[in-house]
Chains A and B, each alone.
Chain A
Amino acid sequence: MGKTLLDKVWEEHTVRTLPDGRTQLLIGTHLIHEVTSPQAFGMVRDLGLKVLYPNRTFATVDHIVPTDQRAEPFSDPLADAMVKELRKNCAESGVTFFDLPSGNQGIVHIVGPEQGITQPGTTIACGDSHTSTHGAFGAIAFGIGTSQVRDVLATQTMAIGKPKVRRINVDGKLAPGVYSKDVILHIIRHLGVNGGIGYAYEFAGSTFDAFTQEERMTVCNMSIEGGARVGYVNPDETTFEYLRGRPYSPKGAEWDAAVARWKAVASDKDAVYDDIVNFKAEAILPTITWGITPGQAIFIDEAIPNPDDLPEKDRATAHEAIEHMKLTAGTPAIGIKIDVAFLGSCTNGRLSDLQEVAKHIRGRKVASHVKAIVVPGSQGVASVAEKMGLAEIFREAGFEWRGAGCSMCLGMNPDKLVGDQLCASSSNRNFKGRQGSPTGRTMLMSPIMVAAAALTGEVSDARKVFAIH
């Protein structure tokens, strides 16, 4: 009987079975940031323990760093204290820190891959739910809480039950103007925001085979929005090519040995799955969310649904969503006025996202009533984008070009919605208050759809705005 990638990685990283039946699982790579780590370092100290393998933990700052005024001290003393705390903890414990002055700082889920730290067949944990992003490389990557950050710092392991595996096949060719973001929003719309509880999602099929590494990251990133703590794609030549030559990628003879291991870790052809779900790429259209969960999604040519027309289990949340979003059931999505456009985040803040948008907006202007910001996912992305002239294209179009960080994805830094502003956002969560204003409203969509909304000032079909066919 064949094994899945998850089976193989789990087996290799199992230290032992704990008395409660969970696995003591070795975490090969630990990523930390300023928000969920300070308490963990404190707990490690309080227990009289120390960081066991400091060379297997990597740190950066992303959540609270301002994206405009980046000189320290930050105007927010709490944010400033958190960065200093991480700096101190890393220095004391010997953890590598991709700090602000390093030129390598950025969103932790963008920094790991671009440094070549994220590798196939590894286990990765980070105190952030979007750690599932790293699964795009065929890693098993978990978002964890602070007590588990402590566990990984002190023991390089954590206690966890083995998930089931659901294979999600997407086959076929996406239509022009349809992107990986639409694919994952479509999957969550159909499998639900809690459909993945207890599962790891294995994304496969010809659509995924054709995806670039960055497109795969966008999908794996949002696994958690579908309830799946882990999402992964089997590693292939696309993965290996992405990793070749990166700072932490194996070199020389070690590279060849690593590639051989990485090929072997992919799911066997006859692997057995707990569940299999199939989607057709051709059936997916540009997708946006209209509500307060990532599963409340519609195609761009649909109208805001009437909650009473939805399945009974979805109605209460739909009513709550209509109230919060101040929308009227039956209104076409196209034409809903927006106030803010946010292009960035660990979902869509990579170079290819910025390139795709820049290609289409050249010579166009952001609508006068819209505040539009572009936040590169890392200093590395920013630096390349600037050299390529992308920053200039965005600025000329009326976007603000910012420094790297989580920015307006989560309202922990100065980039926040104000009042009930409606934001067309390339991020991952449309929860009430997520973007920093309790009454703020978020519509999730692909970067190109964010750009279309920014230019027209309203939710628009990017295929029409940019004549993509």
Chain B
Amino acid sequence: MALEKITQVSGCGVFVPGDDIDTDRIIPARFMKCVTFDGLGEFAFADAKLAEKAAGRLHALDDSRFNGATILISGSNFGCGSSREHAPQALYRYGFRAIIAESFAEIFFGNSTTLGIPCVKMSKNDIADLAALIEKNPSIQVTIDLTESKVTTDDVDFAAEFSLPGHAREPLMNGRWDSIADLVDGLEDVKTRVATIPYLSC
């Protein structure tokens, strides 16, 4: 299965502030009553947007200045809670191709990597600086370079290191981020292993 080799993601960014943004917030459960992931994009952050509106504020995803953003930027423990893959599926279908955050919840991180969405960790200060640059100039181009482990912008002032574990970086860069092909390659070994485990072989 030939997948795209993801070495770099570039595009406009949008900052959704907050820590512990859970997957219920990314895609409320009522939108999971579906048998395909198609059409989830429009419901990303649906209730968070409504809540901001009700409070007389504007959610970043409702702010036309950030229309077309492809890089989502947020706080710590992003994607915590439910294991629903509907969350990264909704973000991907909304148009996001990478996420920068202080940290990621583990299941969300894995689900996103499998979809080819790099989730890179950057420091709180660098995120604040990047958010400020985007706020000042929403059309600024943000580039996540997986080879260099750097986030840069076409504004020369900004360059920051990010971290991405090797077990996600390698498959993203080599076009093997969806692990099914590797797993299928190991099927003979699977059968051998199954035969050695008492509760499976009897």
Inter-chain contacts of B29 with A (CB < 8 A) = 63, 410-412, 434, 436
Contact between chains at B51 and A438 (CB < 8 Å)? yes
A155 and B187 in contact, given A20-B170, A227-B77, A412-B29 (Cβ under 8 angstroms): yes
Question: Which of the segments A140-148, A278-286, A336-344 contacts the partner chain?
Answer: A140-148
A128-154: CB near B (< 8 Å → 1, else 0) gives 110100000000000111111011001
Interface bin, chain B? 35 or more
A82 and B35 in contact, given A194-B80, A227-B80, A227-B105 (Cβ under 8 angstroms): yes
A333 to chain B minimum Cβ distance, whole angstroms, is: 21
- The verdict on B70 contacting chain A, using a C-beta distance below 8 Å, is no
- The verdict on A177 contacting chain B, using a C-beta distance below 8 Å, is no
Inter-chain contacts of B126 with A (CB < 8 A) = none
- The verdict on B62 contacting chain A, using a C-beta distance below 8 Å, is no
- The verdict on A277 contacting chain B, using a C-beta distance below 8 Å, is no
- The verdict on A16 contacting chain B, using a C-beta distance below 8 Å, is yes
Contact between chains at A42 and B83 (CB < 8 Å)? no
- The verdict on A451 contacting chain B, using a C-beta distance below 8 Å, is no
Of the residues A49, A81, A412, A429, contact of B81 by C-beta under 8 Å: A429
Contact between chains at B189 and A16 (CB < 8 Å)? yes
Inter-chain contacts of A429 with B (CB < 8 A) = 22, 24, 81-82
How far, in angstroms, from A19 to B193 measured CA to CA in the complex?
A: 19
A22 and B197 in contact, given A15-B190, A439-B51 (Cβ under 8 angstroms): no
B76-89: CB near A (< 8 Å → 1, else 0) gives 11001111111011
Inter-chain contacts of A225 with B (CB < 8 A) = 81
Which of chain B's residues 1-53 have a Cβ closer than 8 Å to chain A? Answer: 17-20, 22, 24-25, 28-30, 32-37, 47-48, 50-51
B189-202: CB near A (< 8 Å → 1, else 0) gives 11001101111101
How far, in angstroms, from A155 to B183 measured CA to CA in the complex?
A: 7
Question: Which of the segments A33-41, A231-239, A366-374 contacts the partner chain?
Answer: A33-41
A412 to chain B minimum Cβ distance, whole angstroms, is: 4
- The verdict on B97 contacting chain A, using a C-beta distance below 8 Å, is no
Inter-chain contacts of A13 with B (CB < 8 A) = 193, 197
Contact between chains at A26 and B30 (CB < 8 Å)? no
A292 to chain B minimum Cβ distance, whole angstroms, is: 8
Of the residues B22, B33, B82, B170, contact of A19 by C-beta under 8 Å: B170
Inter-chain contacts of B189 with A (CB < 8 A) = 15-16, 24
Contact between chains at B83 and A64 (CB < 8 Å)? no
- Residue in B167, B180, B194 whose Cβ sees the most chain A Cβ within 10 Å: B180
Contact between chains at B84 and A155 (CB < 8 Å)? no
How far, in angstroms, from A198 to B176 measured CA to CA in the complex?
A: 22
Of the residues B22, B111, B184, contact of A49 by C-beta under 8 Å: B184
- The verdict on B106 contacting chain A, using a C-beta distance below 8 Å, is yes
- The verdict on A322 contacting chain B, using a C-beta distance below 8 Å, is no
Which of chain A's residues 55-87 have a Cβ closer than 8 Å to chain B? Answer: 56, 63-64, 76, 78-79, 81-82, 85
How far, in angstroms, from A155 to B184 measured CA to CA in the complex?
A: 6
- The verdict on B68 contacting chain A, using a C-beta distance below 8 Å, is no
Lowest 10 A-B CB distances belong to which pairs?
A145-B85, A145-B111, A438-B47, A159-B179, A78-B33, A194-B77, A143-B83, A129-B83, A38-B35, A146-B85
Report which B residues bind A (CB closer than 8 A).
17-20, 22, 24-25, 28-30, 32-37, 47-48, 50-51, 54-55, 75-77, 80-86, 88-89, 103-107, 110-111, 114-115, 165-168, 170-171, 174, 176, 178-180, 182-184, 186-187, 189-190, 193-194, 196-200, 202
Provide 5 A-B residue pairs closer than 8 Å at the C-beta atoms, listed in order of the A residue: A39-B36, A143-B83, A147-B178, A194-B80, A431-B25
Report which A residues bind B (CB closer than 8 A).
12-16, 18-22, 24, 26, 28, 35-36, 38-39, 42, 47, 49, 52-53, 56, 63-64, 76, 78-79, 81-82, 85, 119, 121-122, 127-129, 131, 143-148, 150-151, 154-161, 193-194, 197-198, 224-225, 227, 229, 254, 257-258, 261, 292-293, 313, 316-317, 320, 323-324, 410-412, 429, 431-434, 436, 438-439
